[in-house]
Amino acid sequence: DQCATGKTLEAGKLTIATGNPAYFPWVIDDAPEQGKGFEAAVAYAVAAEMGFESDDVVWVRAGFDESIQPGAKNFDFNLQQFSITDDREKVIDFSLPYYSSAMAVLTTKAVVDAGAEPTLASLKTLKWGAGAGYTAVPVLTDLVAPDSDALLYNDNTDVTAAIQAGQIDVALFDLPTALYLAAVVVDGGVILGQFPADRMENPDRFGMLMEQDSALKACVDEAIAALTSNGKLAEIEATWLSESTGVPVIK
């Protein structure tokens, strides 16, 4: 109640938005109130840092499109794996990044058996898919530049449905999502390889999204900076995001 006082949507409450539905492992069981899952945990940690009790946190749902529309928002900040980009920052504000993700290539055993390898040359020849609203699209076109046009979908489920239906061979996700999908959702799902964050020109950094010129931005940044320096953020990451060192790096 120091920095944020009078700057939130509702006095004494912190309204946080996430996706509908919110996906594993970012939020467990689509229930952010429980604080389980990486983003849910980060949200409560940031709230605590800003001086809000857990009970003062109000969750709402808001998709990407609603969030980038000009004008007033119905949340104080929104976290659902939004990547920070220059273009986006012209219409909305992002906090400091709370996570830097590698990009991973999800595929199925059948494709691997057919000879797919974690090399750019091999990847180019495959049929690609991705979620249209994600920053995976420019990565795909710039870094991989596949031979045939990629297919683009509304959300992750549609991408996995297309993989399952054999309509695409491979799809690009952030690494934690890819790990989850390979393990749980896709029958015979395999992670073919990853593009580590530090290898990319514009690494995929997740930020919390706020209305442009939000008065709250300074407080949120302050909280994230604090959590980063005291190692709490790394701790949360270790708790909720699986080990990714085993995934081969794409050459």
Q: Which stretches of the chain bind other proteins, using CB under 8 A?
A: 20-21, 23, 30, 62-66, 68-72, 74, 85, 87-88, 90-92, 127, 129, 132-135, 137-138, 149-158, 160-162, 164-168, 185, 212
Beta strands 128-131 and 151-153: pairing type? parallel
Q: In angstroms, what is the minimal distance from the CB of 73 to other proteins?
A: 9
CB nearer to other proteins: give 86 or 198: 86
Q: In angstroms, what is the minimal distance from the CB of 188 to other proteins?
A: 12
Nearest CA to 239 among 45, 59, 2?
A: 45
CB nearer to other proteins: give 24 or 38: 24
Distance from the Cα of residue 114 to its chain's centroid: 30
- Please check whether residue 223 is in contact with residue 51, taking contact to mean a CB–CB distance below 8 angstroms: no
Task: Please tell me the total number of residues recorded for the chain in this structure.
Answer: 251
* Amino acid residing at 162: A
Q: In angstroms, what is the minimal distance from the CB of 240 to other proteins?
A: 18
Q: In angstroms, what is the minimal distance from the CB of 137 to other proteins?
A: 6
CB nearer to other proteins: give 164 or 244: 164
Q: In angstroms, what is the minimal distance from the CB of 116 to other proteins?
A: 14
CB nearer to other proteins: give 96 or 151: 151
User: E strands, 57-161, where?
Assistant: 57-61, 77-78, 92-94, 99-101, 103-108, 128-131, 151-153
Question: Both tokens of residue 217?
Answer: 């931005």
CB nearer to other proteins: give 155 or 237: 155
CB nearer to other proteins: give 122 or 228: 122
3-state secondary structure at position 190: strand
| Cross-strand pairs, 128 | 170
Q: How far apart are CA 195 and CA 203, in angstroms?
A: 9
Q: In angstroms, what is the minimal distance from the CB of 164 to other proteins?
A: 7
Cα distances from 193 to residues 42, 125, 170, in angstroms, run 27, 15, 11
CB nearer to other proteins: give 121 or 165: 165
* Amino acid residing at 200: M
- Please check whether residue 224 is in contact with residue 93, taking contact to mean a CB–CB distance below 8 angstroms: no
Nearest CA to 28 among 165, 144, 180?
A: 180
Q: In angstroms, what is the minimal distance from the CB of 183 to other proteins?
A: 13
